[in-house]
Structure 1
Amino acid sequence: MQHRRLDRAAGVALAATLILRAAFEWGAGPVAGHAASLSAVVALALLARGVDRTRQAFLLIGLVLVAAAFATLPDAGAAVTRAAGSAAFIVAFFTALSSLRGAAVTSAPIAECGRFLADQPPGRRYLALTLGGGLFGIILLYGAISLLGSLAVESARSEANAEIRGHRIRRMLVAIQRGFIATIPWSPLTFAIAISTTLVPGASWGGAVLPCLVSGLILAGTGWALDTIFKPRLTGPRPSYATPDGTWGAKMRPLLILLAVLAVSIAGLHLLTGIRVVGVVMVVVPVLSFLWIAEQDVLDHRPGVIRDVAGRAWRFASVEMPAMRSEIVLLAMAGFIGSLGASLAAPFVASAGIDASALPPALLLVGLFWVIPVTGQLGMNPILAASLLVPLLPAPAVMGIDPAAAIVAITSGWALSGATSPFTASVMLIGNFGGARPTHAGLAWNGMYAACCGLLLTGWILVAASIL
């Protein structure tokens, strides 16, 4: 009973963080921002109970850095306040996006759409699941891999030949994962865009979306090309497969309509109000989520629509969100540690005489791109890597480059880390579904893919730095 009360209190604090941070983004003033930071700290304190030792270590590191800041920095209060604001932003953004995932899991048409993609015959299956991983990833984040991965494994179990079944599961899972990570560089509903556009002075989603879409196309196209070129050789004849019932238009329509509504609502409000895209997302996504739940009730002829939506909202806040305590603590503390760590590191970098502005901007961007996936192999979350490193670099205006070029480098490295780091949710999920260790799923399944994408994205970053 005590645990349930603490979870409910944590859920209320998470909801308050979302509301207050959204109000701050919409111009409510610094009081709302500080209140959001306070409620985020309360939520993290309540959620700390029951997390594993890794997450507890993150919390301990955060406390150590706070002590170090007050011991060494003349503006320690401002640095800690910025770090708490970063954690509050991440908590609010994650809460908003999770509300959409909660609405999607009860939608029968969305599940049917996923099953239709998983049941495609071999000639179309990789592209279908790459498309599905991308489209579902926009609304479900890592939940897209969970949903499509479970459907893919379920579909593959009907294959009697163990050799074919093994190849099929692996290829389906990496197709889903690569489709998902192809959205990381450009979707406004990803942490890569939300964090990087906050860290890079002068950056915005509207200014970076087109070059970042090129990164997404490179990630998706390279995966399809490698799968086509290096198809596994079978010891026996290839079996024939039936085409699933239904047409593409009919099966994909619910998902495409949802994405269209999201795109029009977010882009429209952003253009009309001038509010940052991430601030618009914090309002639009939860509202659409609860409207979607109401629509499901109406279509299923359930009585008491308002009561059901209110009940679902309370369950989401008090049960579903606290159940994701491990993810919330990891993400929020990564932002907090990265922000405060950058404030602590800045004086040492300056006293050491390191002048990054003397280096060629293209070299800095390529180095930033590669350091994110490399440190990912050591367990560093991309949020932590970006929050720690980007503030130490010269602003784009100082380097003489467009902020969009910096966003291309950061988000591309973020995506590559998501494909290879054994510590990321995407790699752990496909490894779990495929019965492989995360290190094997990240490097053996995606090693060549990462190397090819890395070279192509390096070239694109150099081009972007020169033409933007």
Structure 2
Amino acid sequence: MSDAPRPATAPAAAHTPAPRPFLATLLMSVAVLELLARFSGSDLLQQIAWGLVLTVVVLAVRQLTLREIYLLGASAVLSVLVIVTQPDPGTILSGAMDQAVFLMAFILLLGLLQATARSSPSVEILGEYLTRQPPGRRYVALSGGTSLLAVLFNLGVVSFLVPLIQQGIRRAGADDGLNPLREQRQLSALLRGFAWCVTWSPTAFAPLIVAELMPGVERTAWIGYGFAFFMLLMLVGALEDKLRFRAYRPSGKRAVMAFPRTAALRFAATTGWFLLLVVFFVEVFDGSIVFGVLAACPVMMAGWLTAQFGLRSPTLWPDLKARMRTLVVEELPGSLNVAITLACSGFIGRAGAGLTPAAEVAAFPGLGAMPDWLLLSAIPLFIALVSLLALSPTMMAVFMGSFFAALPEMPADPTLLAFSISCGWALSMTFSPFATVVLVIARASGLPATRLTWGWNLHFTLIAAILLVPLFALLTMGA
């Protein structure tokens, strides 16, 4: 089977800025400068990147939605407060700008990798396979499959799988009265799988952000805790799904797709190469995991495109140049609004933490005297509840990571604190109608965000929150 790329589907004009080579060049420059600044440690390159981010915002002002305008306004207000109230505003604001540039560069580079993955027929075949499983295997297939695809796709896996789910349901019988139940079960499995993969995925935003901010975090142990709990929750979620819909009886026969071994092997090999590239950049350049992921994205993109066109293709170089130009000039500006949103979230979270007197706040509720398991179990609940105020999980992860990093002494093990923050991120994604992934699913499916969260997944969210208590009690046993 050939893995030649499929023609790219043009994004909807209502959500994608018009292709602008100059804007695309600026965005690419932000990503490249962030990489070079991290590699060289140059403050000058970092400051040039700050200027480019501000230039991008000014040039894109007519394309901003109410969300970006609100976040930019909040960023400006916080900047004024820092300047007026803090004795060393330059340190706080420079840290906030560093965080903003990092998040913008990360989403831009990952967006290019996702666009490359969309052109792979192997990925399309795997997505179709996940959505065409019988009811007994469908939950685990969708929840687990979504989490694995998210390692390379991240949020893009949601936009990719939701239409496949709805098309598969309509194809099986447009007038079937059980279709709404099928939609509920499949979209819930997808949302839960994506939400909780953030606790272990090497490319998830939360771990990369928090590991960047908090010293002493052991990323390998964190991935282990997250993956073990993810597997437990997947089994618990499958049981909850089975019990909730126990009166449901499938009608008619459904066509089950055979396991696409070749496509699965290709995707596994691609993911493996990506992770090996991350390790390579970390070891060779003595960098962090963050630097490894950033550096691996463009190399992986070029290699994957080359493999899709075929090394022996007589037109490899012209095809590669044309596709790369399309990705950078046309697809990259499509990530503009999301990139600005994440940049603002990072800035607000870091600046907000700088305005918060960490030691005084920590002393007020007695964080140091609180049992570790209780503190670690309470952090996810706090993040999930605050997410109802329309504060993004990204913003809260930056704030919490910066807050704990500013304390004179960590109130618990840094790795467990970081893991707990990522659990709060995961809880908010099945609980808050304002979570980005929920809004993406709502937009793609036409369903209300409140139905996707409170209507369909409130029970699961409560179960997950309760299970975190014995989990952290076990992890802190003997501490």
Q: TM-score, normalised by structure 1?
A: 0.91
Of 37, 55, 64, which aligns to 2:77? 64
Equivalent position of 1:190 in the other structure: 204
CA distance in 1, matches of 2:404, 2:228: 24
- Give the alignment's Cα RMSD to 1 decimal: 2.7
Distance across 2 between alignment mates of 1:38 and 1:465: 45
Say whether 1:117 aligns with 2:130. yes
Secondary structure, in 3 states, of the residue corresponding to 1:163? coil
> In the aligned structure 1, how far is the partner of 2:362 from the partner of 2:396?
22
Q: Report the equivalent of 1:458.
A: 469
Q: Which amino acid aligns with 2:323?
A: R
1:135-214 maps to which residues of 2 (within 5 A)? 135-160=148-173, 161-214=175-228
> 1:52 and 2:62 equivalent?
no
1:396–1:345 Cα change, 3 Å? closer
Alignment match, 2:233: 219
d(CA) in 2 for partners of 1:99 and 1:394?
Answer: 32
How much does 1:394 deviate?
Answer: 6.4
Residue identity matched to 2:146: G
What amino acid maps onto 1:130 in structure 2?
S
Q: Aligned partners of 2:116, 2:247: CA distance in 1, in Å?
A: 41
Map of 1:398 onto structure 2: 409
1:283 and 2:295 matched: yes
Between the aligned partners of 1:104 and 1:371, the Cα distance in structure 2 is: 35
Task: Determine the C-alpha separation between the residues in 1 that align with 2:280 and 2:19.
Answer: 39
- 2:262 is aligned to 250
Please list the CA deviations of residues 259-317 of structure 1 after superposition, one character each: whole Å capped at 9, or x if unmatched: 11112222344345431111011111221112111221227x86532233333333333
Give the Cα separation in 2 of the matches to 1:21 and 1:359.
39
Ranges in structure 1 where 5+ consecutive residues have no aligned partner: none
Deviations 1:62-99 (A, max 9, x none): 11211221111121111111100000110111112111
Work out the CA distance in 2 between the residues paired with 1:237 and 1:70: 63
Greater alpha carbon shift after TM alignment, 79-88 vs 266-275? 266-275
The DSSP-based 3-state class of the residue aligned with 1:185 is coil
Distance across 1 between alignment mates of 2:371 and 2:141: 41
C-alpha contact 1:420 1:450 (8 A) present in aligned 2: yes
Q: CA deviation at 1:240?
A: 2.2
Aligned to 2:4: none
Please list the CA deviations of residues 345-379 of structure 1 after superposition, one character each: whole Å capped at 9, or x if unmatched: 22894699676434444333223221111111221
What is the CA–CA distance in structure 1 between the aligned matches of 2:439 and 2:18, rounded to whole Å?
A: 31
- Deviation track 1:224-266 (CA, whole Å, cap 9, x = no partner) reads 22112222524x763222322x434234222211111112222
Percentage identity across aligned positions? 24
Task: Give 1:85's aligned residue.
Answer: 98
Classify the secondary structure of the residue corresponding to 1:422: coil
Match of 2:430 in 1: 419
Could you tell me the TM-score, scaled by structure 2's length? 0.89
Amino acid corresponding to residue 38 of structure 1 in structure 2 = G
**Does the CA contact (< 8 Å) of 1:373 and 1:416 recur in 2?**
yes
Contact 2:377 2:468 in 1 (8 A): no
Does the residue aligned with 1:49 lie in a helix, a strand or coil? Answer: helix
Q: 1:52 to 1:395 in 2, by over 3 A?
A: closer
Q: Equivalents in 2 of 1:363, 1:257: separation in Å?
A: 41
Q: Which residue of structure 2 lines up, in the alignment, with residue 378 of structure 1? A: 389
Cα 1:398–1:294, aligned 2, differ >3 Å: closer, same or farther?
Answer: same
